[in-house]
Every structure is written in structure tokens, then in C-alpha cells.
Amino acid sequence: MNKPDIPPHYFIQRKAKKLIKEGRDIILLSVGDPDINTDKRIIDAMYKAALDGHTHYGNIRGIPELRESIADTLNNELNISITSENIILLPGSKTSIFLLTTALLNKDSKIIVMTPTWGVYLYLLDRFHYKYKKLKLKFENNWRPSQEDIEFLKKEDFDSIIIINPSNPTGKVLPKEDIEAVTDIAREKDAYIFADEIYYNLIYDDKPFYSFLNTGYEKAVGIYSFSKAYAMTGFRIGWIVANQEIINQLSKVMTLLFTNVPDFIQYAALKALSLKDIVEKNREIFKNRTRMMESGLMQLGFKFHRVEGAFYIFIKTPENYRDSFQFANDLLDKAGVAVAPGTAFGDYPNYFRVVTSVSEDKIDRAINRISSYLNK
């Protein structure tokens, strides 16, 4: 099938929503929006802030209290030492790569994207005519860079590398040695590392996390979000951590585009950070859901690596399907289950991704539907 000009998983999601409107019962496993309501205390804080008059233009980088609270949280959780001056709030972490490329690179800059990656980043680079190459990780190497990949990076001339860790779509958490190997090469080339670590607080079974910020490399940039761990996707609030010079450059672009994340949303985020129980609770929910989906898929004979963090599983398509877009489309039409084709994440036509943040009932029904579809 022809590839749509929007990320293929958005195409499937849109088609699924259209079918739902027409009355079809569709289970959406295509976009990572948790099936959990935002905690009422967060919504109350937002409402109160708005009533208190925080409804005006605000500080470009974000309210100082929130930046301080983020700095404390990250210093504590990642064992780093940043200040509020190293932080800028964004209207969702989705805007990060656009802001970073606009602020720090130009159209001749050479970018490497480690894939599989979140497809939006690839489509964004295409759309704005950036030059990039993909560093294609493999299932066989457990979604880690191989020696060959490291050699490729060493030979490449690049100004920036984009990495998602923990990974959407594979659920892989890269070990410290991989983070250090990539950072050493970036340092040698004086290249930026744009490290999307938005799932750092959704890692399971006490697997250790080593942030690119732990390397101390001055051109390592960390990207974070309130969306997933706090179940706040609709609030559109994320942030970047970087050295002060980079934050200054980002502020200049922010001021031209968004001005600031609405202050009342930032007060909601400040409240979220103060509620230490939320992330732990949500992590447990996502872990149980992920394990449930894994065991259902395993029983159906699907091949994938066990998820270490985030809430996605990147799965090999059944043998008779070479085109994952076709598979996703058929699964939607014939089984009423929406999944994301592997081509949404790079050159992976033999894979598809399911989201595991949906309710247990939906997981159960989705597995049953996929099972009957495959047995037909």
C-alpha cells in the first residue's frame, strides 16, 4: 500500500476514529494516550491558578517555582546537578525537536536519528527539509547499537544525534555502556545529543537508568514530559534540560512561536510534581498492563523483546505479511483493532507496535480479536 503523507500510525488512528463514529467497535492500540484520568488534585490546582489570575502572558522559560521543582526532582531522581537556569518549559515535548533544530542547527546540518524512533520526529525532519541519516538498530541485537553501528557512527560526520531512551517503540532501556559509547563519539565530533528521555520514570523491575545527562557532556540535551507518567497528555506540557547557552537559544525561538506554556497549566504541573504517589501508581498500572499484553501476544506466537520501560511493544508481523501497513489496515478492517505499522518508526516494514497503556479489559478483548483474526 502507498505510504500516507502523515505518520502511518496517525493515518490508522484517524481511520479508526472515523469507524468508531460510524458505530464500529474498535480497540485503539495505536497512540500512546494512557487510559487513566488525570488526578483531580492536579485539575483543582489548574482551576485555582486560573481563578487566581494566572491567565496572562508569562515568563518565556516557565514559572520559576516549576523550574525549581523540576530541577530538584531530576537532581534527586537522575543524580545530576542542574538549576532552574538549565530548564525551559515547552507546550508538550513533541515540540522539542522542532525547537532544537531551529535554534541550534541549519538546513545543512547533518543529523543522525537512531531508529526505530517515534515517527513524528522523522516526519518533522522531512517536512522541514533537514538532512538526516538513520542508524538502524536491529531486533537481533536486542535493539541496542551493535559494534557495526558504533563503527558507522565513528565514520559519520554529524552535528546532532536524536535518541529515544527508554524507547518508543521497542521498550528498550539502553545500558550505561551504550550511552557512554555514543556520547564519546558525539563529544569527538562536537555534536549535540538530543536525548528524548520522556519515559525515564516508567521503567520496570528496577532496571537501572543512565541518562545522557549523567555523562556530563555539555552538548547533551534531555527532553522530558508530564504527558505519560502523570497521565496529562492533554495539558501539553514538557520541558528541556540543557546548558544555559542552549536554553538561551531555545528561548529566542519560544518567544517567536508560543510565548510560554500557559501559567495555569504550569501550576497544574507543579502540583503533579508534589504528588509523589502518582508516578509510582501509574508505573505499576502500566507495568501490569504491559505484562498482560506480552503474555497474550506470546501465547499467539508473536516475536518481540520483553519491555523494560515505556508502554509499547514492537512486534514482528506474522510471516505471511511483509507490509506492516497492510497488516495494520487489515487488522483494523477485519478485527477492529488499531495498531501502528512498523514503517511509522523507520524502515521496519516487518514490525508493528501496540500500545499497552489501555485498560485490562481492552487488552483482553484485543488479544481475543487478534487471535480469531489470525485463526481465520
Ligand X SMILES: Cc1ncc(COP(=O)(O)O)c(C=O)c1O
The contact set with ligand X (CB under 6 A) reads 32, 92-94, 118, 164, 168, 196, 198, 225, 227, 233, 238
| 238/341 with CB nearer ligand X | 238
Give the nearest distance from C-beta 33 to ligand X in angstroms. 8
Query: Which residue is nearest to ligand X, using beta carbons?
Result: 92
| 69/369 with CB nearer ligand X | 69
| 189/230 with CB nearer ligand X | 230
Question: H or E stretch including 136?
Answer: strand 131-136
Give the nearest distance from C-beta 32 to ligand X in angstroms. 4
100-113 as b/e: b if 16+ CB within 10 A = bbbbbbeeebbbbb
DSSP state of 2: P
Give the nearest distance from C-beta 299 to ligand X in angstroms. 27
Q: What span, in angstroms and rounded, lies between the C-alpha atoms of 260 and 276?
A: 26
**Torsion on CA atoms 255, 160, 226, 77, rounded to nearest 10:** -120
| 165/183 with CB nearer ligand X | 165
Question: What Å distances lie between residue 173 and 23, 36, 55, 224, 305, CA to CA?
Answer: 39, 24, 39, 15, 11
Helix (H, G, I), strand (E, B) or coil at 110: strand
Under a CB-based contact definition with an 8 Å cutoff, are residues 34 and 282 in contact? yes
Residues 6+ apart with CB under 8 A from 364: 292, 296
| 254/335 with CB nearer ligand X | 254
Give the nearest distance from C-beta 263 to ligand X in angstroms. 18
Nearest alpha carbon to residue 64 among 220, 260, 277, 278: 260
Give the nearest distance from C-beta 98 to ligand X in angstroms. 11
Q: What span, in angstroms and rounded, lies between the C-alpha atoms of 169 and 6?
A: 18
| 124/374 with CB nearer ligand X | 124
| 97/335 with CB nearer ligand X | 97
Give the nearest distance from C-beta 234 to ligand X in angstroms. 9
| 96/183 with CB nearer ligand X | 96
Give the nearest distance from C-beta 285 to ligand X in angstroms. 17
Helix (H, G, I), strand (E, B) or coil at 173: coil
Q: In this structure, which amino acid lies at residue 329?
A: N
The β-bridge partners of 28 are 338
Q: Where are the strands (E) in 197-241, listed by range?
A: 220-225, 238-241
Give the nearest distance from C-beta 235 to ligand X in angstroms. 9
- Cis previous bond, 175, omega within 30: no
Q: What span, in angstroms and rounded, lies between the C-alpha atoms of 234 and 105?
A: 29
